[in-house]
Amino acid sequence: MSEQPGKSSGSKSTKRDLSDEGLITRLLAGPLGPIFVIGYLAVVTFLLYREPRALLLRFLLFAGLLLIYYMPHKAWLKLLLAGVTVVAIIPAVGLKNPFLLEIGFQVATFATLALGLNIVVGFAGLLDLGYVAFFAVGAYLWAIFGSQQLWQLHSSPGTATVYNVFPLGAWWFWPFLIFGITAAAGAGMLLGTPVLRLRGDYLAIVTLGFGEVIRVLANNLDKPINLTNGPQGITPIQRPPLPDFILHGALPNWLSQVSGRTIGEGDMYAFFFYFLAVVWLVFTIAFAGRLENSRLGRSWTAIREDDVAAVAMGVPLRRTKLTAFAIGAAFSGAMGVIYAANRTFVSPETFSLTQSISVLVMVILGGLGSIPGVVLGAAIVTMLNIDVLQTLSLQLSSLRQGTGMIPLIGVPWAELPTQLDPARYQRLVFGLLLIIMMIFRPEGIIPSRRRKLELHEDDDPLAPPADSENVLITSTGGD
C-alpha cells in the first residue's frame, strides 16, 4: 500500500533541503561573507600567535574551517581559504606551539581512519568493530622492518642489546607506504572472505574478534620468534630521511628567529608529519568522494539497502563486499606506516578495541556516509580526547594551586577534590555526548543527504510526540 511511512516522496524532501539554508550559511551569504571569514581567521591567528596555548583560540581556529565549509560560495574560494588555513595558518601558529601540529596530525590520522571505516560501514553497510586492526597492520609492518627488531628475532623482549644499525635504510619508508596499503588491503580481504555470508550483528562480533586477534598477536608474537617485541613495543623506528637543508642550517635557524624558540630536528619532523598526514587525508577525501559517486559506490549502496535485490540486479556481492573491506583497510594501512614513523614507537596498546569503537564513534557522530561529517567527527573526538578535557583539568589544577575561591559556593579552589578533574571523566562526557547525539541528531552533525531523509521523515513541528505508539509501525516496516 502506498500509505507506507518510509516511502515519502523524494521531491518534497529535496525541495525542503534546498530551502533549508542554515543560519551560518545565510549569515555568510553575499560578498561580505568571505571578507568576514578572512577577518575572523586573521583575528584568531593574531590572537593565537600572541597567546599560543589558549584552548579557546585553538578551538576557534579549527572552527574557522567549519565556517569555511558552510560558506555558500564558490568551491575554489572555499578551497583556497581552507588551504591557507591548513597549509599556512596552522603551521605558522605551530611554530609557537608545536602541540597544534600534534593535534593537526592526530586529527588527520583519525580522520583518515574514520574515512576508511566510513567506506565499510557508511557506504557498504558492513558493521566493522575491529577496524583498528588494519591500522595496526600498517604500523607494525614499518615498525618491524623500519626498526632494529629484525636483529632481535631470537632474544627475549626487553633483554636484547641495543644495536645501532638498521637493517633497512630510512628511505624505505616510502616504498613501505605502498606495502602498508597492500598489506592492509590484504588483511581486509583476509577478514572479508570468511565473513561474506554473515550479516549485521554476526558480522559485528566477528570483526570485533578479528581486531582482538590482531592486537593479541601483536602482544604475543614475542615467542617463539620475537617479531613484535610483545608488550614492550618496538622502538626506535626510523623516520623518513629529510634533506639536510630542512633539518639543519638556514631554514630552522630562520624559523627559530621568527618563532622565538629553538626549532630543531624534532620540530621539523613535526611539520613534516603534519603535512604528510594532511596530504594523505586530502588524497583520502578526494578518493572517497570519487568512490561514493562511482559505479562501485552505487553497488555498495545497493548491497547496503538490500543485498538480495542488489544481487538480482547483477551486483557481484562477493567482489563488492571484498573491495569495500580492502579499500577501507588500505587507507588506514598507509596511515599506520606514517603513524609508526611519527611516533618512532609502536605497542599493542594503541590498537585496542576502544580505539576501534572510538573510530566508529567519529563516523557516526559526524554523519554516517558523509565525508565532511566524518572528518568533523574525527576532529571533535580527537580534540576531546587529547586536548580539551586535559587542558581543562590543567587549568583547574592551576586554579587549585592559587588562592582563589570558587564562585557562588565560596570554597577555595584548593579544596576542590582532584576526583572531579574533567580529564578523569573523559568517557563519561564522551558517553553522554553519544547518547544525546543519538537521541537528538542520529544522522550526525553533517549528515549525508540520504541518511537525513531516512531519519527525519517525521521531523515536523506538528508530528505526533516522539514516543507515540506510532513508532511501532516504522520498526516493523510497512505491510
Beta carbon nearer to another protein, 73 or 179: 73
Interaction with another protein in 409-428: which residues (CB under 8 A)? 413, 417-419, 421-428
Indicate the DSSP class of residue 346: B
Residue 478 grid cell: 510497512
Does 404 help bind another protein (rule: CB under 8 A)?
yes
Interaction with another protein in 97-126: which residues (CB under 8 A)? 97-102, 106, 121, 125-126
Q: List the one residue from 213, 309, 312, 313 that touches another protein (CB under 8 A).
A: 213
- Residue of 337, 335, 317, 325 whose CA lies nearest to 237: 337
User: What minimum distance in Å lies between the beta carbon of 411 and another protein?
Assistant: 11
Interaction with another protein in 123-162: which residues (CB under 8 A)? 125-127, 156-159, 161-162
Q: What DSSP assignment string belongs to 221-275?
A: TTSSS-SS-GGG-B--BPPPP--HHHHSSHHHHHHHHHHTS---HHHHHHHHHHH
> Per DSSP, what are the bridge partners of residue 405?
412
User: What minimum distance in Å lies between the beta carbon of 86 and another protein?
Assistant: 19
Q: List the one residue from 83, 87, 171, 220 that touches another protein (CB under 8 A).
A: 220
Question: Residues near 91 by Cβ (< 8 Å), separated by ≥ 6?
Answer: 101, 271, 274, 275
Widest pairwise Cα distance in the chain: 76
User: What minimum distance in Å lies between the beta carbon of 6 and another protein?
Assistant: 9
Neighbouring CB atoms inside 10 A of 117's CB total 30
Does 368 help bind another protein (rule: CB under 8 A)?
yes
User: Are 399 and 388 spatial neighbours (Cβ–Cβ below 8 Å)?
Assistant: no
Does 206 help bind another protein (rule: CB under 8 A)?
yes
CA distance to 199, 355, 374, 396, 446, per residue, from 385 (Å): 32, 11, 16, 17, 20
Beta carbon nearer to another protein, 253 or 286: 253
Q: List the one residue from 324, 360, 371, 379 that touches another protein (CB under 8 A).
A: 360
User: What minimum distance in Å lies between the beta carbon of 289 and another protein?
Assistant: 21
User: What minimum distance in Å lies between the beta carbon of 191 and another protein?
Assistant: 9
Binding segment for another protein (CB under 8 A), chosen from 139-147, 233-241, 243-251, 275-283, is 233-241
User: What minimum distance in Å lies between the beta carbon of 31 and another protein?
Assistant: 18
Question: Dihedrals φ, ψ of 234, to 5°?
Answer: -105, 130
User: What minimum distance in Å lies between the beta carbon of 387 and another protein?
Assistant: 8
> Is residue 465 left, alpha or beta, with left meaning phi > 0 and alpha meaning psi from -120 to 50?
beta
Instruction: Tell me how far apart the alpha carbons of residues 53 and 43 are, in angstroms, rounded to a whole number.
Output: 15
Q: List the one residue from 76, 154, 197, 293 that touches another protein (CB under 8 A).
A: 197
Question: Dihedrals φ, ψ of 66, to 5°?
Answer: -65, -40
Question: Dihedrals φ, ψ of 405, to 5°?
Answer: -115, 150
Does 209 help bind another protein (rule: CB under 8 A)?
yes
Residues binding another protein: number (CB under 8 A): 171
CA distance to 51, 87, 168, 272, 341, per residue, from 256 (Å): 18, 19, 33, 16, 24
Binding segment for another protein (CB under 8 A), chosen from 82-90, 135-143, 292-300, 379-387, is 379-387
Instruction: Tell me how far apart the alpha carbons of residues 152 and 167 are, in angstroms, rounded to a whole number.
Output: 11
Question: Residues near 156 by Cβ (< 8 Å), separated by ≥ 6?
Answer: 222, 223, 226
User: What minimum distance in Å lies between the beta carbon of 178 and another protein?
Assistant: 25
Interaction with another protein in 328-347: which residues (CB under 8 A)? 343-345, 347
Does 168 help bind another protein (rule: CB under 8 A)?
no
**What residue has cell string 515536523?**
460
Does 457 help bind another protein (rule: CB under 8 A)?
yes
Beta carbon nearer to another protein, 106 or 320: 106
Beta carbon nearer to another protein, 294 or 305: 305
> Per DSSP, what are the bridge partners of residue 340?
none
Interaction with another protein in 262-321: which residues (CB under 8 A)? 262, 264-267, 270, 304
User: What minimum distance in Å lies between the beta carbon of 253 and another protein?
Assistant: 16
Interaction with another protein in 23-82: which residues (CB under 8 A)? 23-25, 36, 39-40, 43-44, 47, 50-57, 59-60, 63, 70
Q: Is the peptide bond before 167 cis (omega within 30 degrees of 0)?
A: no
Does 458 help bind another protein (rule: CB under 8 A)?
yes
Beta carbon nearer to another protein, 266 or 316: 266
Instruction: Tell me how far apart the alpha carbons of residues 457 and 479 are, in angstroms, rounded to a whole number.
Output: 18
Does 1 help bind another protein (rule: CB under 8 A)?
yes
In 3-state terms, what secondary structure has residue 412? strand
